[in-house]
Amino acid sequence: MAGPFFSATSKPSTLYQYWKKSSLFGLALVTVLCSLSYLLGIWQNNRGGSILTSHLVNSVPCTDIERRTQLPSNPHGLDFSTHHAADDSPMTMVTKHYPPCDIKYSDYTPCEDPKRSLKYKRNRLIYRERHCPQRGELLKCRVPAPFGYKNPLPWPSSRDYAWYANVPHKHLTVEKAVQNWIRFEGDRFKFPGGGTMFPNGADAYIDDIGKLINLKDGSIRTAIDTGCGVASWGAYLPSRNILTMSFAPRDTHEAQVQFALERGVPALIGVLASIRLPYPSRSFDMAHCSRCLIPWGLFGILLS
């Protein structure tokens, strides 16, 4: 046969044994050489790294880093003086002294003068709007307080009482006597909480409104009361966490809003006729009108 033949029962030839021994010897030799090379590399790396580190430390000098912020040589020589001084000449103060007005002007409201308002048209209640005096009509005096004026009572007492001397007008106590608006008792006014449409009191009237509109869920936080009278409706809403702005026109005899202000209720003189009230849209969650005589469906009068 052309080549060695191996049978299951025959022994390996001499050539095969030599090749097997040579392979094991070479593998062992390569392993030993690799191990020696690895150990030699570790030894050289440690020795050389130490020498290199030592060389770098010795070759780079240690120097202090200079401060970048340089202080002036004379820190007390900084100039903080002003270079644009005003004129040093003394100012001349001109003080104007105005004498007190006559006591008849104690209720004077410049832009709500009943005598001046009668000069304007009554159509749409324009005559009850604000009509401010011209330059030649301006008063040059100080409006006096009513005789015996006292500091208003603190809230919540002011809701029910006000000093008579602060608003010395009894006309409403007679005109609105059956409607339970206001009473005169000694040196003060008493406000039972009544109104034109709620003679049983504002508290009971608001309870009736609460049966139709939820006043407790926080959806109504602000309200506006048109034709407020003495503002009894707005005076009883703070207990429901609702802030009310009350307004009414000035009548020819007196300003009912003055009673509201003495009671500590937010109020202003207004009529909602031809001039818009000074509030942006959606300022109020609820509008109230109790015989306020406002033509809501005419002239584009809307509250949004």
**Structure confidence at residue 278 (pLDDT):** 87
**pLDDT tens digits for 222-232?**
999 988 889 99
Structure confidence at residue 159 as a pLDDT band (50, 70, 90): very high
Poorest-confidence range of 88-92, 128-132, 188-192?
Answer: 88-92
Token representation of residue 126: 């324009």
Q: CA–CA separation, 151 vs 143, rounded Å?
A: 17
User: What integer is the mean pLDDT of 56-75?
Assistant: 54
**Bigger pLDDT: 165 vs 295:** 165
Q: What is the mean pLDDT of residues 244-272?
A: 87
For residue 8, the model assigns a pLDDT of 42
Calculate mean pLDDT across residues 85-103.
80
SS (H, E, C) the chain: CCCCCCCCCCCCCHHHHHHHHHHHHHHHHHHHHHHHHHHHHHHHHHHHHHHHHHHHHHHCCCCCCCCCCCCCCCHHHCCCCCCCCCCCCCCCCCCCCCCECCHHHCCCCHHHCHHHHCCCCCHHHHHHCCCCCCHHHCCCCECCCCCCCCCCCCCCHHHHEEEHHHCCCCHHHHHCHHHCCCEEECCEEECCCCCCCCCCCHHHHHHHHHCCCCCCCCCCCEEEEECCCCCHHHHCCHHHCCEEEEEECCCCCCCHHHHHHHCCCCEEECCCCCCCCCCCCCCCCEEEECCCCCCCCCCCCCCC
Average model confidence (pLDDT) across the chain: 79
Q: Alpha-carbon distance 241 to 254, whole Å? A: 30
Distance from the first to the final alpha carbon of the chain: 118
Look-up of token digits 């046969």? 1
Domains of the chain, start order: 150-289 (3.40.50)
Residue length of the chain: 304
